[in-house]
Structure 1
């Protein structure tokens, strides 16, 4: 893949300045090297930039090890199965747009969609109209209960002391699930010098509340509501995955304005800001409620092995951890106070070149040498296999087991609520401290941001595996005005002509059909003939588009470029031979019909 800079030269400069030391998961990092690398970094991609030939190719290199290890699949099977997630996510959105509550999941390339009995006929029509390219089973139930509805019921009926033991409420393939064991213990971004700070401390113990005899325990409520209750063991509290993480395979250091970096987090998905300039999407809690401003690129030799700081990265812009303005509540809120965990980095160093790719942390190689391209943004579906990238654990994969609300300890000794996804995290191998802000993908589609984790792996059969929590990317962008207009950088495939064959003879105005492989919603194609825009057409959900053949006689060659926001494809070409229009017959004057002679009138 194209390298944004000569890393070997830069590392040599950093080493000359100071040596990075790993200290119990934290490190002492040198200041940013003042000298420049031997080679000048490539300029940042602007809105009009197009991917190189290397970038445009589908890259599954480096997937093999993690996917075979974590999922027992080949890279080809993983990417093929990920298409089911895209289809189910689209069908679910269409159902919700029609006001139909639904629960969807995928398994082995098949989809299951649950709706209430009174919505069955409407749901059938929506599914039939979607032309879903996979087997979809429609299941009807008496009632579909959402996470928000269950949460409201828990707060109303369960003892307050028990409510405070909530870790998350999620919707799984087997139904709604309550996870209990305590809120997330927010340790904040780790100090580079290994010393603790106020941000490193877990929330202090709260005053215990007397039991309300008129309310239920979580166990009793779960039994009555026929909901699965999972209790974590030991340190089963979710921890904010800040500090030592790298998103997209690149780690970054964090500092207050004008100071040297003292904390670590992960670079998020590379993105475009509303003006089309480079930006990054990452985790909101990495800003420590807005107290951190500056970010720096941190080089790694391997996951969790720091080599030094190479470049200024950018400056934090909008961030939200919990509710608006980093708001939380003293305890588990009485209402479903839905929040998120997301931030953007703006004013990117112009010497850097941000690609639409995520590092797969290839073994014994530079983190830039093994990447997977991002081809769009999607919601995740329960049952789909997701892979995440972060500076602590590298590249690892796990199935999405739930979607819903999880609770994380904030920086003000409060509780922050975040909406997202849950995955198994055995022995913290998928998501650990320092992976916050990292990328979460299903196939090639961006679905989330690394946010938090909780422990529970103690060898007992009656306790769950450790859990990973991901911020839902689509949800976060809907929920925050500050991020909604940012667009994840992703590759758009070049359009191809599919019908008729290239160079075929057609009549003027005949329909020409093309396709953009893997096109995301909102993609358009510009058709240019003789250097002038001929047509601009929308791409359908199955990636096809059409436009009429010109009226010009003879061979017509057209250039086609697909675009989705600031993301543009390379140029595709096609051609047809427009046949001369058939001559219109000239109408002839009708021949006068001879009249029959009339009998002479008799002379009186």
Structure 2
């Protein structure tokens, strides 16, 4: 569905008209720590940014990064924890990495996700061997091989011209099946050729609404698309039912018409030539490293649309529909676009290339230099501050049946669900001609919600980009369709790179940031708030005139060899991944020629009753300096041992640091030790028993008197006369404890 077209004339009239039409406007992306550097200046001739619009681009401060909004959205829509959603994205990435090797094997049918497992459908010894290899040592063991489904069902509303005696064909992939169907049946009425639940689906039953129409006033209504029955056989062609009946694993299904939704954080709205509106998808880079915005190809009106302007998020339907400002912030202009086959071509139906399967993708280029694209998709938890809860993008992943996904767009906002099927989808083109049908590879969900204006918006799984929104229907049985991003990226004439979220690098070595000459200066790239560090990331380090790129492992660790020259050193470092980068940070360290000493006594975490010295090993002739809760120094002896005497330490917790020093050299890195000292336990003396008179011969020993039961008095235990003395002794102990605590930090002799 498309948002109706309109013309903006007088400012006040425009604002009112847009509000009535469902609202469209512009959104500046906010700068955020860990994102990309500002985009280059706008190209010559680009419209200037009006002061009132530019003011929208200046956030009051960097947004706080929080997963609270995302966690709530995932819990509400998917019944999952944020950790579970991120794990699902990682599972999809594992599956996508395995598919190329599976696809080449005989007997392979498809892959889907189910209950936290990767289900490979197919049969054969080679396929089983590959699944076993994927489940081998050092892997997560997440793959299951299951035999392909062979059940089939024929649409009861369709009457085949003949009934075959047997279904002796088995479809192996959607591309092959799509080409065969278009060649033998034709594209009329076809909506999709998809794969789901171990079977293939051919969906027919509607004339898809045209992607674009004649410009109309805001108060006019778009006539509903005509729905026609599933087509019968055209002259010289096979009927859909006859075609499907030949396959043991293909089902014919009738659906409601799919209509495109022409309507920047990914998911925010933008106006097109002041007539239509769509949503931004993902940030990207051209082959020359210039920033781009990915969106839906059908939003470009087959390449005739040019100018795009941002919509403030609070003016979007998903952001509250606040009045549109009179001046919009320029976004950029459309560059390459493709809706359907190459050059926006229709399904041809020719014998040479019957299907002509393409994509639905476009780029917005020549971006306003005042914008700062973020590698993230808004969740619409806070329209005025989208960055705080936006989902960071760290790579792409292919769609799989059963995969948890979420979609963002300026009209329906944020919606999550599961992928029900993947395949080739057909929607109406820009013209009203009956044959203007466009085909692209994508995936469908029946529980993700969408609406007009969401086209081009991002679909994600965990922190991975899966697709851009293309079409949907909510008037009947709800469904939403997206273009598969990994496939769409292959259609550009020159390489296009997805923009990735990268944190700035940090140091991860000793707390004092002191490193031995020639040894690694260690650091890390944090993952949070994403679930992992983007694959193939590097840390670019510059020292003086020398720049090197260091690999980053899966845990985000990196290392730079410390130079032989000692003293203070500043590294300029940033995380890079292709054209994506985090922005530079200065990391100050000290390089020393000295080894750190070793503390041998006391041991780490020891609980001592007393301590009179600190000891260890070091380099003979160097001085060990002790600081922290105890201080002092000593020269390392010829045998490599050192001992620093200390006054008897008061009870409490202690933390100490020891370094080796030498005149003219930077101190070594520190050895640290933490321990506790406690007062010795006092064992109370047993009270002396009163003497017992010896019994006279023949007489029993005297016994202490016993109170009669019920007298209400306690027996005299002998403690009464001791209480005053015990009170004085306790007071003396407490006073002594206070005096000892005050003298806790004591200098050694």
2:636 equivalent in structure 1: none
Q: Which residue is 2:449 aligned to? A: 430
Q: Deviation at 1:403?
A: 1.5
Higher strand share: 1
Name which structure has the greater RCO, CA cutoff 8 Å, separation 6+: 1
CA deviation map 1:174-223 (0-9, x unaligned)? 332222223532343795732779x9896999998755698454377257
Matched, 1:292 2:305: yes
Asked whether the 8 Å contact 1:284–1:321 carries over to 2, the reply is yes
Q: Is 2:539 aligned against 1:525?
A: yes
Superposition RMSD on alpha carbons, in Å? 4.5
2:333 — aligned with what? 315
CA drift at 1:290: 1.4
Deviation string 1:401-458 (CA, Å, 9 cap, x unpaired) is: 1221000111132110011111114xxx61222211111111122221110114574x
Name the CA shift for 1:183/1:561 in 2 (closer, same or farther; >3 Å). Answer: farther
Hey, what does 2:200 align to over in structure 1?
176
Change (3 A) 1:311 1:58: closer
Distance 1:545 1:207, change over 3 A: closer
Q: Which residue of 1 aligns with 2:499?
A: 489
Residue pair 1:173, 1:383 contacting (<8 A) in 2 also = no
Structure 1 residues 378 and 69 mapped into 2: Cα distance closer, same or farther (>3 Å)? same
Match of 1:478 in 2: 490
Aligned pairs, number: 532
1:84-483 equivalences in 2 (<5 Å): 84-93=91-100, 95-96=102-103, 103-120=110-127, 123-124=130-131, 127=134, 132-133=139-140, 135-139=142-146, 145-155=172-182, 159-160=185-186, 164-182=188-206, 184-188=208-212, 193-194=217-218, 215-218=238-241, 221-222=244-245, 224-232=247-255, 236-242=256-262, 244=263, 248-255=266-273, 261-299=274-312, 300-303=314-317, 305=321, 307-309=323-325, 310-329=328-347, 335-362=354-381, 370-412=389-431, 413=433, 414-425=436-447, 430-454=449-473, 457=476, 465-481=477-493
What's the secondary structure of 1:526's corresponding residue? strand
Measured after TM superposition, the shift of residue 344 of structure 1 is: 0.9
Q: Are the structure 2 counterparts of residues 288 and 579 from structure 1 closer, same or farther at C-alpha, using a change threshold of 3 Å?
A: same
1:187/1:200 contact within 8 Å kept = no
Secondary structure of 1:20 counterpart: helix
Q: What is the Cα deviation at residue 78 of structure 1?
A: 1.8
Q: Which runs of 5+ in 2 are unaligned?
A: 1-9, 27-46, 150-169, 596-749
Secondary structure of 1:437's counterpart equals coil
Structure 2 CA distance for partners of 1:312 and 1:38, relative to 1, 3 Å: closer
Look up the SS of the partner of 1:448 in the other structure.
strand
Give the Cα–Cα distance (whole angstroms) in 1 for the partners of residues 200 and 378 of structure 2: 34
Deviation at 1:266, TM superposition (A): 1.6
Distance between the aligned counterparts of 1:58 and 1:34, measured in 2? 28
TM-score by length of 2: 0.61
Distance 1:504 1:136, change over 3 A: farther
2: CA distance, partners of 1:112 / 1:566:
35
Q: Which moved more, 1:126-135 or 1:315-324?
A: 126-135
Identify the match of residue 19 of structure 1 among 15, 20, 23.
15
Contact preservation (8 Å) 1:247, 1:435: no
What does the per-residue CA deviation read over 1:148-187, in whole Å, with 9 as the maximum and x for residues that have no partner? 1222343455x44xx5332111122433222222353234
Give the CA deviation at 1:496: 5.6
Of 14-23 and 301-310, the range deviating more from structure 2: 14-23
- Deviation for aligned residue 1:349: 1.9
Task: Please say if residues 131 and 143 of structure 2, whose CA atoms lie closer than 8 Å, have aligned partners that are also in contact.
Answer: no
Instruction: Provide the rounded CA distance (Å) in 2 between the counterparts of 1:531 and 1:493.
Output: 23
Which whole-Å CA distance do the structure 1 matches of 2:246 and 2:207 have between them? 22
TM-score (normalizing by structure 1): 0.74
- Judged with a 3 Å threshold, the aligned counterparts in structure 2 of structure 1 residues 29 and 509 are, in CA distance, closer, same or farther, namely closer
Question: How far has the Cα of 1:275 moved from its partner?
Answer: 3.1
Cα distance in 1, alignment partners of residues 53 and 329 from structure 2: 13
